[in-house]
């Protein structure tokens, strides 16, 4: 799990970086990220005791909200980025009248119970679990789950090692450290708040233009063009050089590994042994 997340959000996942998701360039680049596989949506629906209300935390452009909406009574997509919610509304184009887009942080959300499924796609690490999980424990219907989803980046491909080495080199060039303790702590901070009931890993193949794959990197807070400034251009050139030997007609193929972990939220944090 760690390896794939590393390419997504390194170097440090400082929560103040979440503001980057309000950047128009980050939001525009986001559409190039692959969708989650249908098998994930099917698995999420299986976790619902009743196809009632879904809460999508850090919904971004609504990849999960829009996919779950046709199968459920109501979806509440929450995100503090107005630009992301704007994109979500545009991509939905009024198709799903049962989706409510809520502007704000998950930590500040006030809702009426019951919720029949909580999903967090590539977002749980941006949210303070101590402010979130006690509320989820109150709102969740009996037997309902919190589902933590991650992984929409290349996980395996003939070029994955040179690609990752390039990203790793750039983490250092941007003043970060690959795989530091703070990073490890942040991506697993929610786990003591969840009684984990299961995990799944789903693989699917993506074929994409090199330029669009590079755009997906700029949809990550770490590689927001606004933060990188003039360095964005040589970053892109390095990634292009790493991918070029494997490209056919400017396209590359890769496998995406989508990870799912689900369980019951705890009102109090589990004591660390």
Residues from 148 through 207 that contact ligand SAM (CB under 6 A): none
- The CB-of-118 to ligand SAM minimum distance in angstroms stands at 12
Give the containing element (helix H, strand E) for 93.
Answer: none
Stretch that binds ligand SAM, among 37-45, 115-123, 136-144, 252-260 (CB under 6 A): 115-123
Residue matched to tokens 């919904």:
59
| Nearest of 256, 234, 249, 178 to residue 10 by alpha carbon | 178
> Would you count residue 122 as binding ligand SAM (CB under 6 A)?
yes
Straight-line distance from the first to the last Cα atom of the chain, in angstroms, rounded to the nearest whole number = 23
Q: Which of 21, 159, 163, 254 binds ligand SAM (CB under 6 A)?
A: 21
Nearest to 131 by CA among 267, 22, 19, 21: 267
Q: Does 126 bind ligand SAM (CB under 6 A)?
A: yes
Phi-psi region of 197 (alpha: psi -120 to 50; beta: other; left: phi over 0): alpha
Pairing type for strands 140-150 and 251-265 reads antiparallel
Q: Is 123 in the site for ligand SAM (CB under 6 A)?
A: yes
Closer residue to ligand SAM (CB): 58 or 263? 58
129 lies in the site for ligand SAM, by CB under 6 A: no
Q: Which is nearer to ligand SAM, 81 or 145 (CB)?
A: 81
Q: Which residues, listed in sequence order, are joined to residue 207 by a DSSP beta bridge?
A: 253
Structure tokens that stand for 180 in this block: 């530091």
Binding residues for ligand SAM, rule CB under 6 A, total: 21
* Interaction between residue 105 and ligand SAM (CB under 6 A): yes
The answer to whether 121 contacts ligand SAM (rule: CB under 6 A) is yes
**Contact predicate 193/133, CB 8 Å:** yes
| DSSP output for 158-216 | TTHHHHHHHHHHHHHHTT--TT-HHHHHHHTTTGGGEEEEEEEEEEEEEEEEHHHHHHH
Maximum Cα–Cα distance for the chain, whole Å? 54
Tell me if 58 contacts ligand SAM by CB under 6 A: yes
Site for ligand SAM in 73-92 (CB under 6 A): 78-81, 84
* Residue number with CB closer to ligand SAM (185 or 244): 185
Q: How far is the CB of 88 from ligand SAM (least distance, A)?
A: 9
Name the one range near ligand SAM by CB under 6 A: 104-112, 202-210, 239-247, 258-266. Answer: 104-112
Binding site for ligand SAM (CB under 6 A): 18, 21, 57-60, 63-64, 78-81, 84, 105-107, 121-123, 126-127
């Amino acid at each position: 799990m760690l390896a794939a997340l590393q390419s997504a959000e390194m170097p440090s996942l400082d929560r103040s970086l979440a503001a980057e998701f309000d950047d128009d360039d980050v939001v525009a680049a986001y559409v190039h990220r692959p969708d989650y596989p249908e098998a994930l949506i099917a698995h999420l629906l299986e976790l619902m005791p009743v196809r009632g209300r879904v809460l999508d935390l850090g919904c971004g452009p609504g990849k999960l909200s829009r996919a779950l909406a046709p199968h459920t009574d109501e979806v509440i997509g929450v995100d503090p980025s107005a630009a992301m919610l704007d994109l979500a509304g545009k991509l939905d184009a009024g198709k799903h009248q049962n989706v409510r887009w809520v502007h704000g942080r998950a930590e500040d959300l006030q809702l009426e119970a019951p919720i029949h499924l909580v999903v967090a796609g590539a977002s749980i690490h941006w949210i303070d679990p101590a402010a979130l999980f006690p509320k989820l424990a109150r709102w969740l219907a009996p037997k309902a789950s919190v589902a933590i989803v991650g992984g929409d980046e290349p996980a395996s491909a003939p070029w994955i090692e040179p690609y990752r080495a390039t990203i790793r080199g750039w983490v250092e060039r941007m003043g970060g450290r690959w795989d530091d303790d703070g990073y490890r702590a942040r991506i697993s901070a929610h786990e003591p708040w969840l009684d984990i009931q299961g995990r799944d890993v789903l693989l699917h193949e993506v074929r994409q233009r090199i330029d669009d794959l590079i755009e997906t990197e700029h949809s990550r807070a770490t590689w927001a063009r606004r933060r990188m400034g003039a360095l964005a251009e040589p970053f892109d050139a390095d990634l292009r050089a790493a991918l070029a030997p494997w490209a056919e007609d400017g396209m590359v193929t890769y496998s995406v590994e989508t990870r799912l972990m689900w369980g019951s939220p705890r009102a109090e944090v589990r004591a660390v042994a």
